[in-house]
Amino acid sequence: MRSALPGELRAANVGREVRLTGWVARRRDHGNLIFVDLRDRSGVVQLVFDPGVAPEAHHFAQALRPEYVVRATGAVVARAAETVNPGLPTGEIEVRVSRAELLAAARTPPFEIESGEGHEVDETLRLKYRYLDIRRAPMVARLELRHRAATAARDYLNACRFLEIETPMLTRSSPEGARDFLVPSRLQPHSFYALPQSPQMFKQILMVGGVDRYYQLARCFRDEDLRADRQPEHTQIDIEMSFMSAAEIRGLLEGLMAAIFEGVGEGPLETPLPTLTYDEAMLRYGSDKPDLRYGFEIVELSGLFAESGFQVFRGALEAGGVVRAIRAPGGARLSRAQIDGLTEHAKAHGAKGMAYVYVEEGRALRGPIVKFLSAADQVALVARTSAEPGDLLVFAADQALAAAGVLGALRGALVGLLAPEPSRRWSLLWVVEFPLFEIDAESGALTYGHNPFSLPTDDTLAYLEAEPLRVRGAQYDLVLNGVELGSGSLRIPDAGLQRAILRTLGMSEARIDESFGWFLEALEYGAPPHGGIGLGFDRIVMLLAGESSIREVIAFPKTASGSDPMTGAPAPVDARQLHDLRVRPI
């Protein structure tokens, strides 16, 4: 069908006779000559139809329309110097067509394929006609980037003696995370499979089975509300390994990320990566996934304001809270409307308001709370925050965790408003030792932070029964540019300890046996020490591609409502199908 690819032809191919196939990107009729840009996945090349050389082919070209599929045969020739297109890889040559044929006609597309990046077209329309959207060069580039990243990951893990093993897509529902997608069973009426939220228990079972090192590019399903970096189905690089410490696991994973970066042409990745404990990250950045490309670190000011005349600060401290601030370089240029917007943002994250001061020439302070601060307090505040003229200081006075959340939210908003130059292109780091348990915001009940299978750290295990919120996990999150790529941990290899963790979460022995009995039984047959991680592959590719939504790096994503405009899924099914499954609509 073809002897060359349009986008791969170069000046070195001049004189070669080629057969090309592809889609008509553009057609320009200059009266005597007709020019057609022929596109396929490799790129674009210009075809020239000359009636003096091939009258039948020229007549054929008059009927061509955008997105027609054609095959053309001709000679590669050099363009005249004045017609060279330096912006096109094939811009030094063109193909003078001698024969051409139509392989498929096409309807007029609902949007221009060659109009650019594609973001200017309504996203729902792009997803409805995804097969047209994928023809765009940026979409092709993102899918090729995804392929290179996957290939690099597989090559690295294979070289490290991992086995790629598939785990079941139809499994048992268990209370370990988000809401499950359920699949009714026809053969066992009124029973249901669940699509896996992750292969967590299966990969641990592989460790019990002595596999030692496992991975897969696993499909995972979670019935949860969607956002830019979340889909109902996604892909993760799922990894588990035995007989390794947490530090050794992180080192191996750093090698994986370095291989992926190199595989997609992002150059060497500096390792070892920096590491922050969860407590350090919250204290310094107000987030457990901080973006270290910017400063804006939180400053502890509790000692400074212990005797302050400003009752808001003093009252928070007397209640056992903290006073902290962020210095925003250049923030004094923000308008009153922007300050009001920041105040509302702080309130949306639990604050009663937002105290702030501007730093003026001579490091004098100006703002609503300055009158409550003594001259000594003002001097000490400027010194403690290293404030400079033109800066803005924003404060939070509350309990430590609440203050961290408010300042973390304000930090992100300030970076967005002030758009400081990042210190580097990539900020990759580990955040470790997360709280094993937390309080559910809606129910007020104790729940787990990452998952119920994470091993407590040796120095906090003693708090399990009396003070579970003080227990830390041997956990580690990998964070890239403020986005969590994945969560991992050492696992609990002991069935007794695993039962104790589940009991702490409020599960009865009957519930534990019903949901996890098969898994706990496996742990009783000699489980090795093991750990691993699930890395969000879509998020990795999204960031490497410079995109803000994982929908841009998934071939066939869902909309924010979880629907597929192209196929119409989800959709009602035939009543007979429901009857066979013993399912009746409510």
pLDDT at 396: 96
Average pLDDT for 487-500: 97
pLDDT at 306: 87
Cα 165 to Cα 212, 297, 532, distances in angstroms: 12, 43, 15
Nearest CA to 537 out of 168, 164, 151 is that of 151
pLDDT digits (tens, 9 = 90+) for 168-190: 999 999 866 678 999 999 999 99
DSSP 262: H
Contacts (Cβ under 8 Å, ≥6 apart) of 104: 68, 69
pLDDT digits (tens, 9 = 90+) for 290-309: 999 999 999 999 999 988 88
pLDDT at 552: 96
Using 50, 70 and 90 to split pLDDT, how confident is the model at 357?
very high
- Alpha helix stretches (DSSP H) within 319-360: 336-348
User: Which residues are 431's β-sheet partners?
Assistant: 276, 477
Query: Is residue 349 predicted with pLDDT exceeding 70?
Result: yes
Query: Is residue 226 predicted with pLDDT exceeding 80?
Result: no
Q: Which tokens sit at 267?
A: 């150059």
At residue 403's C-alpha, the angle toward residues 368 and 444, to 5°, is 135
Three-state DSSP class for residue 241: strand
Using 50, 70 and 90 to split pLDDT, how confident is the model at 359?
very high
Cβ(322)–Cβ(286) under 8 Å? no
Domains defined for the chain, CATH in brackets: 6-104 (2.40.50.140), 140-276+428-554 (3.30.930.10), 294-418 (3.30.1360.30)
Q: Which tokens sit at 43?
A: 């790129």
DSSP 109: P
Average pLDDT for 382-410: 96
What gap in Å lies between CA 549 and CA 461, rounded to an integer? 39
The one-letter code for the residue type at 428 is L
What gap in Å lies between CA 54 and CA 525, rounded to an integer? 77
State the average pLDDT for the chain: 95
Three-state DSSP class for residue 216: strand
- In this structure, the dihedral spanned by the alpha carbons of residues 154, 159, 160 and 166, taken in order and rounded to 10 degrees, is 40
- What is the pTM for the complete model shown? 0.93
Write 155-163 long-range contacts (CB < 8 A, 24+). Answer: 155/259, 155/263, 156/255, 156/256, 156/259, 156/260, 157/213, 157/215, 157/239, 157/256, 160/213, 160/252, 160/255, 161/212, 161/213, 162/213, 162/214, 162/215, 162/239, 162/241, 163/211, 163/213, 163/214, 163/215
DSSP β-ladder status, 428-432 and 275-277: parallel
What gap in Å lies between CA 543 and CA 537, rounded to an integer? 10
pLDDT at 115: 67
